[in-house]
Each structure stands twice: as C-alpha cells, then as structure tokens.
C-alpha cells in the first residue's frame, strides 16, 4: 500500500495584533510536523505567545531553490507542513507561490487556513470603492516602473500597492505624475498600537509625509478619478 502523502497547509497569521489568528490556525500550527516560515525569528514570537513548540525551518526568496525539494520530500514521506509568512496570508507578495506550484505538480494536497491580509484590511477601512479592485503589490524599483504605472491609468478600479515607509513619498509622487492626483488612502501599522489611516488626494498625502515621518509597512490605495470618490 503506497504511503499516504502529507498535507501542505497555507496558514494565515496576524499582520500586527497577535490576537488576530483563528483557532484552526493555532490547531494546525500545533499539529503539523514542521512549520516553514519566511523569518523563523519573527514567527517564533507568535509561536511563543501560543505555546507552540513545533519545529521550524526557514523558507524565503533566497533559499527556496534549496528548500522546495526538501519540503516536497517531507510531504511525500507523509509529514504535514504549515507554510507561514511574516504577516498575513502566504502567497501575497512572498515566495509561497513557487512551493505551492511544486506541491501541485507532485500531487500533494494543499489546504488554505484563511485569516488576515493587509491589503484587504486596508481596502475595507479605506472608504474607497470595493466593488472592483486590483492588487499590484510592490512596484518595480526602477526598470518597468513607469510602464507599470501608465498601464494602470485607465483601470476602473481601486488600485492597491504595498510600500516601504522610506519610499512612500517617492511612490506617491510617481503615482501623482503618471496616474494623476486621485483619491488616495495610506494605511500603516494596521492592527498595531500606532495604526494610522490617512485620506485625501495623492498630493495631500505627499505633503503629509513630507512633514511627518512614516514608520511601518504601508498599504497605498488609489481610487478612481470620479467626483463621488474624492474625500470632501
């Protein structure tokens, strides 16, 4: 009788507040043989908070070539593995995609354990239209940046970007130049003590962050250029 393969669990974890985790996620993290974490030091804080002692290995962009065969081998040997990112849902702006594709190719069962996502949390509090949205993630730093922004000009949707706080003014300035001075929201430190949500036009927010230091990872949301979408 062939050995039963293990399951790869895609486990969402808190984006800030450690209480924002499901009972099922805690159960899975306790029950699997291994947790593959983007940053084991970061995930250790969460595991300690919930008294989870499951063995961890690192899985991130620069070691995935080595790790994917190791993880697939464990799964094919019957071990269950949980994949977690630093914050939120694995597969959103992180290297989980490649591992998931490999698991599919090897006929391994995959289960999603849903939970927090920074861009969805930002979208629902933004006050911008939610009927149609496009998640872009991080813009290319140089090559292809202008082209990507110009492609978005005609999109009839709320646009969602991730950005590093040190680059927030640069990115907002590029958005204003190539997409236009649109209804704009920046959410930073979501679910944390210093959570901040700033609304206005793109140029309003450029002025704000020129005068106020931005800390923490940011979600930028750009609304459609329609009168009823602007904040009064």
pLDDT digits (tens, 9 = 90+) for 11-36: 999 999 999 999 999 999 999 999 99
What 3-state DSSP class applies to 86?
coil
Residue ranges per structural domain of the chain: 7-113, 118-222
For the residues 63-71, what does the mean pLDDT come to? 95
Domain spanning 7-113, CATH class: alpha beta
pLDDT in tens, 154-198: 999 999 999 999 999 999 999 999 999 999 999 999 999 999 999
pLDDT for the residue numbered 2: 72
Which pTM value belongs to this model? Answer: 0.93
Task: Tell me the two tokens of residue 128.
Answer: 């911008």
**Domain 118-222: homologous superfamily in CATH:** Tetrapyrrole methylase, C-terminal domain (3.30.950.10)
| Domain pair 7-113 / 118-222, same fold | no
pLDDT for the residue numbered 157: 97
Residue 1's pLDDT band, with cuts at 50, 70 and 90, is low
Asked if 82 contacts 55 with a C-beta cutoff of 8 angstroms, the reply is no
The per-residue pLDDT of the chain, averaged, comes to 95
pLDDT for the residue numbered 3: 82
C-alpha torsion sign, points 86, 88, 93, 96: positive
Tokens 């354990």 — which residue?
Answer: 113
Q: In the beta sheet, which residues pair with residue 159? A: 134, 222
């Amino acid at each position: 009788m062939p050995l039963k393969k293990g399951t790869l669990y895609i486990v969402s974890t808190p984006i800030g507040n450690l209480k924002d985790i499901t009972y099922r996620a805690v159960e899975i993290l306790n029950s699997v043989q291994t947790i593959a974490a983007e940053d084991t030091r970061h995930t250790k804080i969460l595991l300690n908070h919930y008294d989870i002692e499951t063995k961890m290995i690192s899985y991130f962009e620069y070691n995935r070539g080595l790790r994917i065969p190791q993880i697939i081998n464990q799964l094919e040997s019957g071990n269950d593995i949980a994949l977690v990112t630093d914050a939120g849902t694995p597969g959103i702006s992180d290297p989980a995609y490649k591992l998931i594709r490999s698991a599919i190719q090897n006929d391994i069962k995959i289960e999603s354990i849903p939970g927090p996502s920074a861009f969805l949390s930002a979208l629902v509090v933004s006050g911008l239209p939610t009927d149609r949205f496009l998640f872009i993630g991080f813009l290319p730093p140089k090559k292809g940046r202008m082209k990507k922004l110009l492609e978005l000009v005609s999109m009839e949707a709320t646009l969602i970007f991730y950005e590093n706080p040190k680059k927030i003014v640069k990115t907002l300035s590029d958005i204003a130049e190539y997409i236009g001075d649109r209804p704009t929201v920046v959410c930073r430190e979501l679910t944390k003590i210093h959570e901040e949500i700033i609304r206005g036009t793109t140029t309003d927010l450029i002025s704000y962050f020129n005068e106020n230091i931005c800390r923490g990872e940011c979600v930028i949301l750009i609304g459609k250029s329609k009168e009823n979408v602007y904040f009064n």
